[in-house]
Copies of this chain bind each other. A is one copy, B any other.
Amino acid sequence: MAVRVDLNISLDGFATTTDQTPENPFGEDWARLTHAYVSTRTFRERVMHDVSGEGTTGVDDRYGKAYFEEVGAEIMGAGMFGLHNFADDPDWRGWWGDEPPFRCPVFVLTHSAPRPPLEFANGTAFHFLAAAPQEALDRALEAADGKDVRIGGGPTVVRDFLKAGLVDRLHVGIVPILLGRGIRLWDDLRGLESGYDVTSEIAESGVIHVTFMR
């Protein structure tokens, strides 16, 4: 029953990108940041619903599989759900179509107007709440029913949970590119490593997987 984070970041520490446009809401940098991850067989099956059996099966895919294992609830920021891009659209249902890959309760932290929950046939249910990290985590832990809770992102939300000492396992996939701009994951986290074992491994793709575990 651990609280977990998985994020892709650039070598210069950026976990979000800044070249989004209405036409390309993730931006081109996002594609570069997530290329190794979206190339895995697990991502293609679980997120893209691609049952061709294509996709990489090496180290990146091992982390991709672990990403979805044993997660009973997720917490994410309003931006990750898309509320910053579609603030005025009461019908916005997230980026993921009719089968969001979560398949569990997802708590979306937002201070904007209350929204009713959104339920999907595959078990995903988005709940919107204005809550501090500990309070949101209590809700998510209860919903997770003994399984893990993932703090999904974005980096500002992740940092809030890290600063509050609420994260048991932090996994970052460091992509060896320099973005030069965006939101940094690591700001203001001096000394985070104390209290964690830190291990690393290199994937075939060149991504450096670093895990903080306590």
Size class of the contact patch on chain A: 20 to 34
Query: Residues of B contacting A180 with CB < 8 Å?
Result: 186-191
Point out the residue from B179, B187, B193, B202 that lies within 8 Å of A176, measured CB to CB.
Answer: B193
Encode A5-45 as 1/0 by CB contact (under 8 A) with B: 00000011100000000000000000000000000000000
Separation of A182 and B37 alpha carbons in the complex (Å): 31
Q: Tell yes or no: A2 within 8 A of B by CB.
A: no
Separation of A148 and B202 alpha carbons in the complex (Å): 29
Q: Tell yes or no: A206 within 8 A of B by CB.
A: yes
Query: Residues of B contacting A192 with CB < 8 Å?
Result: 178
8 Å CB interface, A169-207 against B? 176-181, 184, 186-193, 198-202, 206
Copies in the complex: 2
Q: Tell yes or no: A210 within 8 A of B by CB.
A: yes
Task: Let me know if A190 and B178 touch, CB within 8 A.
Answer: yes
Task: Let me know if A12 and B186 touch, CB within 8 A.
Answer: yes
Separation of A210 and B184 alpha carbons in the complex (Å): 20
Task: Let me know if A210 and B210 touch, CB within 8 A.
Answer: no
Q: Tell yes or no: A208 within 8 A of B by CB.
A: yes
Point out the residue from B11, B184, B186, B198 that lies within 8 Å of A206, measured CB to CB.
Answer: B198
Query: Residues of B contacting A208 with CB < 8 Å?
Result: 200, 208, 210
Query: Residues of B contacting A186 with CB < 8 Å?
Result: 11-13, 178, 180
Query: Residues of B contacting A191 with CB < 8 Å?
Result: 177-178, 180
Sample of 10 A–B contacts (CB below 8 Å) = A11-B193, A12-B13, A176-B200, A178-B186, A178-B189, A178-B193, A179-B190, A180-B188, A180-B190, A208-B208
A12-B13, A12-B184, A201-B202 known; 19 new pairs, CB 8 Å cut-off, are A11-B210, A12-B186, A12-B187, A13-B186, A176-B193, A176-B200, A177-B193, A178-B189, A178-B190, A178-B191, A178-B192, A178-B193, A179-B190, A180-B189, A198-B206, A199-B206, A200-B208, A202-B202, A208-B210
